[in-house]
Amino acid sequence: MNAYVGTPTSRVDGRAKVTGAAQYAGEFQAAGLLHGFVVTATIARGRIVRLDASEALRVKGVVDVLTHANRPPLADDDDAWKDEVAPEKGSPFRPLYDDVIRFNGQPVALVVAENWETAKFAATLVRIDYEQDGFATDLDAKRGHAIELDKPHKPRGDAETALNGAAVRHEADYVIPTEHHNPMELYATTTVWEGGNRLTVYDKTQGVQNVHKYLCSVFGKKPEDIRVVSPYVGGAFGSGLRPQHQVVLATLAALALERSVRVVLTRHQMYGLGYRPMTIEHVALGASADGKLDAVVHEAIAVTSRHEDFARNDTGWAEQLYRSPNSLLSHKLVHLDVSTPCDMRAPGAASGVCALECAMDELAVALKLDPIELRLKSYSERDQGEDLPYTSKQLRECYARGAESFGWNRRNPAPGSMRDGKELVGWGMATGVWEALQMPVAVRIVLTANGHAEVSCAASDIGTGTYTIVAQVAADALGLPIETIDVKLADSTFPQAPVEGGSWMAASSAHAVLAAAEDIRQELARLAKAMPGSPVGSVDIPDLVLVDGMIANGNDKSRAVSIADVMRHSRLERVEKQKLNQFAEDKSHARNTHSAVFAEVKIDEELGVIRVTRIVSAVAAGRILNTKTGRSQIMGGVVWGIGMALHEETVMDHRFGRIMNADIAEYHIPVNADVHDIEIIFVDEPDHRINRLGVKGLGEIGIVGVPAAIANAVYHATGKRIRRFPITVDKLLD
Amino acid sequence: MNNFQYSRASNVADAIQLLAADPDAKLIAGGTNLIDLMKENVERPSRLVDISRLPLRDIEQTADGGLRIGALVPNSDLAYHPQIEQRYPLLASAILAGASAQLRNMASVGGNLMQRTRCAYFYDTATPCNKRSPGTGCSAIDGLNRNHAILGTSSSCIATNPSDMSVALAALDARVHIASRSGERAVALIDFHRLPGDRPHIDTNLGSGEIITAIELPPRGFAQNYSYLKIRDRLSYAFALVAVAAALDLEGNVIGEARLTLGGVAHKPWRSLEAEAALRGQAATPDHFGRAADLLLQGAAARAHNGFKIELARRAVVRTLMQAARATPQSQAHKKIA
């Protein structure tokens, strides 16, 4: 049955969220709950020589001040601290582990008090003396110290020679600043002391089982001692993939004090955790005189911490998008005295594709080619890195549909040639690309005789709509109305799921639901056939379908028996099936999502004020499970792309190694006034190979390409190439 | 945030009494800036004297035909007051260019005058700042100073005043009414805020034990030819890189009286009587406006990152004066620059 999949179904958790019924990690209550406030380091590198908490401890209501000196035991080997998403190489940061300061903003103490205000006040009374060491936080200054990672991409041909011999070449550095996720919900944990050394941890996370495993290994606990729950997440965007500091601190305090403890970080403190690393993206493109790419060189130089090698795929995307006989791709890291970066929406691609697509625009100008035409001349039907065909790739259609809707053919290519009164008008475009990943996920379905089904899975819904698509797929697969489906997510005791990230959860959870529902179908079919005088007694099990609360002959739906009757007759209150879905390994095809993004900017010629008046994003991402939540996903990505182009930048004073705009008053993201018309087109992309439903996932693709399309539009309007993001008034006036 | 005492003033005399009794006490009305600063541990008042219920919410006609605005009138109420919309639209426009609807609903007129700089170093207690901790040094002078002042700075401080409302009030020749134990006094708004000099921790000339009771607008409101233009890093809800309040009296295309004040460029609203005088009797042309801009920006000095503000301010002044001259004031609802 297909009543819900592919439709604009409203969020099943929408009512709970807008009425406040949905509880978030920092909202769970417990008897005698204590509140922790974090004290953070004010130097970038060195050692704590003295930490005096005596004054803080004298404040009425303060219960304890936990530090490296008085904390309960913590695991002392790196492996114990390596969560599911930790970089392979390095030594994960351990909160309150020792006296060493590794980055400014590092947690150094936790003040625990009877209420939050008291803890916050007492935290100002903790006196810390440091011994400061020399430090470095400036990527521009330390660029020469970059260390090359093992090449993730095999060089093809001889890019250097091809570049030197190219008829037309373009080469430039593009700089993406450090950016922070700034989810609306603050990072928060409520660790409930259940007695008998057992804990329930309500945590803001993208992966309850990742946090569960991490806490068990860090604190030396048995799996049954700790349960991690995260029913609702107010945005995370990658910041909740790895366990955040506060989950360690709240749990540490709960164990030390044998009380329930809540720790909520302030917005300011959240800047001491993960971020999109600043990167210097060097791109060199060579083409023949008729505009065919002959060489692609892309080198990324990225920030990481001294203690971990965080790196993502910034430079591999040209292999997906453009046919070129020669390519050389590399990724370098500069180790600085900062916290470890982490995944942030479309990690690697958001930055790398931005650089690549700006460079392609510059090459198109050099070749006097339309930017779409340049891209079509080197359109790649194969993933060149692996030399594989795609399961599906409707990028051509994205260009065509996007261009048509945008009115691209009315574009005068000369910079500064289009205007609207005092404003210069710029039209730019760019390509987006992301992976279509899928992971093993297990789901349990409990069907009860009253016609309700509970579907449970450890996966998180980070606001993306997982609750809703799981309900849609289950309703269709079980032949039940969506109102009868109760989805339970994000409890570490539920069937296995990886962290929610990488855009893999939609496809992965949907197929796990299908797999468990198939077991339910088979069980019900067997029972139905076994009923005396069964109307489906002679129908083969594979021919029986679940539809409208019935078990029916798929070829003749009039031959059917109700699920309720079958269960009653079988004396069953419930049918329960749990199934782990593993996708068959298929290395014969590459799997990607694509987009074509078109942007219109209007720029006041004298004053440099930019308005992004129109965005058209045409997306090919297989079958869209829910066109309503899917559209919201892409729109969120587009808005974020506007921010990446024009606003977002974490600013650090390198004399202090300290972030100086650690709040959302000064760290700018777009406000409503910055967002105008956004049109989203889902291009038909049937994909019978990737998975049964033909689903690819939408979490990341929405942002990729947007900043480049806007930057290219700014060039088209003004003739100015701003290669250091964000594009601000001062850079345009320069 | 520190622990503090809380008192609710029952009348103005009571507020003055409470304030005078405790040198570390602070008045609180809307609290939109003070509470933020307390959360960041920048302000650590021993006592908050809540004046939000005092009867200072009237907007009334003065004997000379101007308006007297109670210090506790919310910014929103002021911006949408019919007398302000009709007679002093420059003030309404400036208020609506600032903050968000929610903040404007909370913020009082007196509190708006008292808001403190948004310098990042002032806000971060881990860094030196002469304004926050006198004598520790200015981190901005050789640090991140893209948002900082280009006019009237000192070697101690290059912070800017963040208010939009004050810029329009300065241009309109508003006066601030102040009460204390020793009676009442009034001071021109342009003299209310100070330049940093060697005492940047003092923002205004409001003495200890003094309370703002009202702001008075003179009769002339420049309702025909005015504009408030604010340039910022996003199209709303950001502090000014440069803001301009401009008002003209025109006879045909000839300027009678002119008012011109900059925001976002100094420790106080920046107004030059010389620049205004240069406009009097001149035709309303871009050339004359450019000359006025040059006079207004005389002495502007750039640091490492804020040099763009000088040229931006010059262009913004010319544009704002053109908007005023053409009676096409900048809309604060529609972000396209007129």
Per-residue pLDDT tens over the stretch A281-332: 999 999 999 999 999 999 999 999 999 999 999 999 999 999 999 999 999 9
**Contact check, Cβ <8 Å, A729/B312:** yes
Domains and CATH numbers, chain A: 19-134+183-266 (3.90.1170.50), 275-437+587-733 (3.30.365.10), 439-581 (3.30.365.10)
Average pLDDT, integer, range B27-54 = 97
Give the ipTM.
0.97
Between positions 121 and 140 of A, the ones with CB within 8 A of B are 121, 124
Question: A318 with A114: CB under 8 angstroms?
Answer: no
Q: Which residues of B touch A660 (CB under 8 A)?
A: 120-121, 124, 127, 144
**Residue A335, helix vs strand vs coil:** strand
C-alpha dihedral, B112 to B113 to B119 to B123, nearest 10°: -70
Q: How many Å separate Cα B148 from the centre of its chain?
A: 15
Average pLDDT over residues B184-204: 98
The predicted pLDDT at position A548 comes to: 94
Q: What is the C-alpha separation between A320 and A316, in angstroms, rounded?
A: 7
Confidence of residue A153 (pLDDT cuts 50, 70, 90): confident
Q: Is the dihedral of CA A687, A689, A693, A695 positive or negative?
A: negative
CA distance A279 to chain B (A): 20
Which parts of A177-240 are beta strand (E)? Answer: 188-193, 199-203, 226-229
Give me the amino acid identity at B143. Answer: G
Which residue in chain A has the smallest CA separation from B316? A607
Question: Global pTM?
Answer: 0.98
B143 to A606: CB separation less than 8 angstroms, yes or no: no
Neighbours of A585 (CB within 10 A): 6
CA separation for the pair A470, A495 (Å, rounded): 14
Contact A660 B235 (CB under 8 A): no
Is A117 in CB contact (< 8 Å) with chain B? Answer: yes
Asked if A162 contacts A325 with a C-beta cutoff of 8 angstroms, the reply is yes
For residue B234, the chain A residues in CB contact (below 8 A) are: 646-647, 668, 670-671, 673-674
Judge whether residue A491 has pLDDT over 90: yes
Asked if A664 reaches chain B (Cβ–Cβ under 8 Å), the answer is: no
Chain B residues in contact with A733 (beta carbon < 8 A): 308, 311-312
Structure tokens at B307: 């040099």
**Residue A151's CB: how many other CB atoms inside 10 A?**
12
* % of chain B residues with pLDDT over 90: 99
Number of helical H runs and strand E runs in chain A:
19, 31
**What is the rounded distance in angstroms from the CA atom of residue B306 to the CA atom of residue B146?**
4
Q: Pairing state of beta strands A226-229 and A199-203?
A: parallel
Q: Mutate one of A268, A269, A656 to test the B interface: name it (highest B CB count within 10 A).
A: A656
Asked if residue A469 has pLDDT above 80, the reply is yes
Distances (CA, A) of A410 to A414, A417, A716: 12, 12, 14
Beta carbons of B234 and A671 less than 8 Å apart? yes
If one counts every other C-beta atom within 10 angstroms of the C-beta of residue A582, the result is 14
Tokens of A671: 């406000």
Question: Are A462 and A233 a contacting pair, CB within 8 Å?
Answer: yes
Tokens of B199: 């005492």
- Beta bridge partner(s), residue B187: B176
Helix (H) or strand (E) run with residue B301 in it: none
Please give the average per-residue pLDDT across B325-332, as a whole number.
98
**H or E stretch at A46:** strand A46-52
Mean pLDDT of chain B: 97
Q: Answer positive or negative: Cα dihedral of B93, B99, B105, B108.
A: negative
Judging by beta carbons within 10 Å of its beta carbon (0-12, 13-18, 19+), is residue A356 exposed, middle or buried?
A: buried
Distance in Å, alpha carbon of A365 to nearest chain B alpha carbon: 28
Q: Minimal Cα–Cα distance from A42 to chain B, Å?
A: 6
* Distance of residue B236 Cα from the nearest chain A Cα, in angstroms: 6
Span A6-63, pLDDT tens digits = 999 999 999 999 999 999 999 999 999 999 999 999 999 999 999 999 999 999 999 9
Contact (Cβ atoms closer than 8 angstroms) between residue A512 and residue A580: yes
Q: How far, in Å, CA of A686 to CA of A706, rounded?
A: 25
Buried b (16+ CB within 10 A) or exposed e, A676-697: bebebbbbebebeebbebbbbb
* Residues of chain B contacting A653 with CB distance shorter than 8 Å: 127, 139, 143-144
Sequential DSSP letters for A687-718: -TTT-TT-B---TTTTTTTHHHHHHHHHHHHH
Pairwise CA distance, residues B52 & A516, whole Å: 61
Instruction: Note whether A670 contacts B234, CB cutoff 8 Å.
Output: yes
Supply the residues of A annotated as catalytic: 700
Alpha carbons A707 and A711: distance in angstroms, whole number: 6
Give the contacts of A660 (CB within 8 A, at least 6 positions apart): A651, A652, A653, A666, B120, B121, B124, B127, B144
End-to-end CA distance of chain B: 43
The answer, for A668 touching chain B at a CB cutoff of 8 Å, is yes
- Residue in chain A nearest B127 by alpha carbon: A656
pLDDT of residue A1: 61
Closest CA to B166 of B185, B193, B200, B184: B193
Residue A243 has what pLDDT?
98
Give the residue-averaged pLDDT of B180-200: 97
Asked whether the beta carbons of A434 and A592 are under 8 A apart, the reply is: yes
Q: Render pLDDT for A363-420 as a digit per residue (tens, 0 to 9).
A: 999 999 999 999 999 999 999 999 999 999 999 999 999 999 999 999 999 999 999 9
The reply to whether residue B337 touches residue A422, judged by beta carbons under 8 angstroms, is yes
- The pairing of strands B225-231 and B211-217 is unpaired
Average pLDDT, integer, range B285-299: 98
Count of alpha carbons within 13 angstroms of residue A35, beta-carbon side: 18
State which residue of chain B sits closest to A601, comparing Cα positions. B336
What span, in angstroms and rounded, lies between the C-alpha atoms of B112 and B95?
10
Q: Which residue of B has its CA nearest to A660?
A: B120
| Cβ under 8 Å to B: A residues 413-442 | 422-423
3-state helix, strand, coil in chain B (%, to 5): 30, 20, 50
Q: For an interface test with A, which of B39, B234, B328 has the most A Cβ atoms less than 10 Å from its Cβ?
A: B234
Identify residues of B whose CB sits under 8 angstroms from chain A CBs: 1-3, 40-41, 118, 120-121, 124, 126-127, 139, 142-144, 146, 231, 233-238, 241, 305, 308, 311-312, 315-316, 318-319, 335-337
In the predicted structure, residue A2 carries a pLDDT above the cut 80 = no
Contacts of A645 (CB under 8 A, 6+ apart): A612, A706, A707, A710, A711, A714, A725, A726, A727
Tokens standing for B141?
A: 């002078």
Which residues in A lie closer than 8 A to residue B121 (C-beta atoms)? 660
Determine contact: A658 vs chain B, CB below 8 A: yes
CA distance linking residue A579 with residue A644, whole number of Å? 41
What does the pLDDT look like over A84-99, one tens digit per residue? Answer: 999 999 999 999 999 9
**B contacts of A668 (beta carbons < 8 Å):** 233-234, 238
Checking DSSP bridges between strand A62-67 and strand A147-148, what pairing results, if any?
unpaired
Distance CA A705, CA A372 (A): 13
**Interface membership of A734 toward B (CB under 8 Å):** yes
Is the link from the previous residue into A72 a cis peptide, with omega within 30 of 0?
no
Asked if the Cβ–Cβ distance from A422 to B312 is below 8 Å, we say no
pLDDT in tens, B253-291: 999 999 999 999 999 999 999 999 999 999 999 999 999
Whether chain B has a CB inside 8 Å of the CB on A77: the answer is no
Mean pLDDT, rounded, for A493-507: 96
DSSP 8-state symbol, B151:
S
User: Distance between CA atoms of A405 and A396, rounded to whole angstroms?
Assistant: 14
* b/e sequence A722-731, b meaning 16+ C-beta within 10 Å: bbbbbbbbbb
In a 3-state reduction of DSSP, which class is residue A593?
Answer: strand
Name which of A327, A348, A323, A344 is nearest A434 in CA terms.
Answer: A348
